[in-house]
């Protein structure tokens, strides 16, 4: 009995010490040893990979329609087919494999899912020149598991498949990459592989932005000079293939305005029309996937615009959240956003 008491008196401190060491080790593994990455590095890679994916999309579009393929991967709530092509698949492969070659544990959400055995060129981790110039020392490492990278390897797939017969539809095609931190979109890339200037085709144009740092030189922020909301006209842009009841909703919300309805494909394209002051409002009244809108949302946040659901709720782009936003979109520049949302809000 004496031996047992002696063991308890001497052993308790030892057990406590062992428990403390184990607890500190667990805390270290969970908190202090979390893998980190700099947003500047992920954004630089996003630009390179979006451009690579876009260039491959252009090459594939030179094939026959049969070689490109056009398969329905499901239907939207409105009964519309959602198509996938060789362009979608190979752009996805290039972008995802590129990210994984640098950061195997990077949380990624892509419109496509499967990786094939396609051989992908390695990617450099060097910073994009324009990003380096805007850093000004503000580039602290971020825990990897706080990030989600949302990828739309080919936005406006339907128009891409129709582009063989009507090349003008290809201007709607974009490749988009978005970086969200704790669910908030803070950097976005929209690559336009087809660009028209006075009827001439040029090489693709990349437009990107980083909240708190700035926007790319290619992003035409003419809206900063424009006076908004002082005319009787409002230009509303909506989806070419998923329009829902936009026209009825808009006409009812703006009874004293001359409403000009514009239709276009691709969410990325429509956000850029608002950002660059070619449309006043981008309105969407049906469900939409988050990879379609995350990059545009980040660019708006960085460049003087806003995007919320029609309930006025900011969209959460966390990795474990739903991939779908069911409550539509209101997208406009800061100047008029609150007025537009008050007219279009739903419960």
CATH, residue 311:
3.40.190.80
In a domain, 172, yes or no: yes
Strand partners, 236: 261, 281
Q: Are residues 139 and 258 in the same domain?
A: no
Spans in the chain with pLDDT lower than 50: 1-3, 5-7, 28-31, 79, 198, 229
What domain count does the chain have? 2
Distance CA 145, CA 149 (A): 11
16 in any annotated domain: no
Of 181, 215, 249, which residue constitutes the final position of a domain? 215
Q: What is the pLDDT of residue 135?
A: 81
Taking alpha carbons only, the member of 178, 171, 153, 189 closest to residue 56 is: 153
Angle subtended at Cα 170 by Cα 97 and Cα 332, rounded to the nearest 5 degrees: 85
Give 156: exposed, middle or buried? Use CB within 10 Å, 0-12, 13-18, 19+: buried
Distance CA 207, CA 275 (A): 11
Is residue 184, in this structure, part of any structural domain at all? yes
Same domain, 169 and 250: no
CATH of the domain at 116: 3.30.540.10
Q: Which 3-state string (H, E, C) describes the chain?
A: CHHHHHHHHHHHHHHHHHHHHHHHHHHHHHHHCCCEECHHHHHHHHHHHHHHHHHHHHHHHCCCHHHHCCEEEEECCCCCEEEECHHHHHHHHHHHHHHHHHCCCCCEEECCCCCCCCCCCCCCCCCCHHHHHHCCCCCCCEEHHHEEEEEEEEECHHHHHHCCCCHHHHHHCEEEEEEEECCEEEEEEEEECCEEECCEEECCEEEEEECCCEECCCCCCHHHCCCCCCCCEEEEEEECCCCCCHHHHHHHHCCCCEEEEEEECCHHHHHHHHHCCCCCEEEECCCEEHHHCHHHHHHHHHHCEEEECCCCCCCCCCCCCCCEECCCEEEEEHHHHHHHHHHHCCC
The residue range of the domain holding 110 is 36-215
62 and 178 both lie in a single domain: yes
Same domain membership, residue 77 and residue 150: yes
* Residue 13 to residue 16: CA distance in whole angstroms: 5
Q: Is residue 174 domain-shared with residue 232, that is, in the same domain? A: no
Using the 3D structure, point to which of 215, 239, 255 is the last residue of a domain.
215
Which tokens is 198 given? Answer: 């006075």
Examine residue 156 and state whether it is found in any structural domain, yes or no.
yes
CA–CA gap between residue 84 and residue 65 (Å, rounded): 13
Q: What is the pTM of this model?
A: 0.86
Tell me, yes or no, whether 194 and 339 share the same domain.
no
Q: Do 193 and 48 lie in a common domain? A: yes
**The pLDDT of residue 244:** 85
In a domain, 66, yes or no: yes
**Residue 131 structure tokens:** 């990003």
Say if 8 falls within a structural domain: no
Is 339 found in the same domain as 248? yes
Whether 6 maps to a domain, the answer reads no
pLDDT tens-place string over residues 204-257: 999 999 999 999 999 876 555 555 545 679 999 999 988 889 999 999 999 989
Are 141 and 112 in the same domain?
Answer: yes
Residue from 115, 67, 76 nearest 95 by CA: 115
Q: Note whether 201 and 194 are within 8 A (CB).
A: yes
For residue 18, tell me if it sits in a domain: no
User: Same structural domain for residues 52 and 200?
Assistant: yes
The per-residue pLDDT for 58 is 95
| Domain final residue pick, 215, 240, 275 | 215
Please tell me whether residues 208 and 289 are part of one structural domain: no
Q: What are the structure tokens assigned to 336, written together?
A: 């008029």
Say if residue 199 is in the same domain as residue 226.
no
Cβ neighbours of residue 30 under 8 Å, at least 6 residues apart?
none
């Amino acid at each position: 009995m004496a031996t047992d008491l002696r063991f308890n008196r001497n052993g308790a401190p030892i057990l406590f010490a062992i428990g403390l060491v184990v607890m500190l080790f667990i805390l270290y593994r969970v908190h202090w040893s979390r893998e980190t990455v700099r947003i500047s590095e992920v954004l630089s890679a996003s630009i390179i990979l979006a451009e690579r994916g876009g260039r491959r999309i252009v090459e594939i579009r030179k094939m026959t329609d049969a070689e490109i393929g056009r398969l329905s991967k499901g239907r939207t709530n409105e009964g519309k087919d959602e198509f996938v092509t060789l362009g979608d698949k190979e752009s996805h492969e290039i972008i995802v494999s590129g990210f994984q070659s640098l950061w195997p544990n990077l949380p990624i959400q892509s419109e496509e899912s499967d990786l094939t055995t396609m051989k992908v060129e390695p990617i450099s981790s060097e910073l994009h020149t324009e990003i380096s110039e805007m850093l000004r020392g503000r580039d602290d490492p971020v825990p990897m598991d706080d990030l989600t990278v949302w990828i739309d390897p080919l936005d406006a797939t339907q128009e891409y498949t129709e582009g063989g017969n009507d090349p003008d539809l290809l201007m709607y095609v974009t490749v988009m990459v978005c970086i969200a931190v704790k669910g908030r979109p803070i950097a976005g890339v929209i690559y336009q592989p087809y660009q028209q200037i006075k009827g001439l085709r040029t090489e693709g144009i990349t437009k990107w932005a980083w909240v708190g740092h700035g926007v790319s030189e290619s992003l035409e922020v003419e809206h900063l000079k424009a006076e908004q909301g002082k005319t009787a006209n409002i230009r509303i842009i909506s989806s070419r293939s998923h329009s829902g009841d936009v026209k009825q909703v808009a006409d009812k919300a703006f009874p004293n305005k001359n409403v000009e309805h514009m239709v276009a494909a691709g969410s990325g394209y429509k956000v850029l029309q608002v950002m660059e002051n070619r449309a006043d409002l981008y309105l969407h009244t049906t469900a939409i996937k988050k990879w379609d809108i995350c990059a545009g949302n980040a660019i708006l946040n960085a460049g003087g615009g806003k995007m919320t659901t029609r309930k006025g709720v900011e969209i959460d782009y966390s990795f474990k959240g739903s991939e779908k936003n069911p409550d539509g979109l209101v997208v406009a520049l800061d100047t008029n956003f609150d007025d537009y949302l008050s007219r279009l809000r739903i419960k």
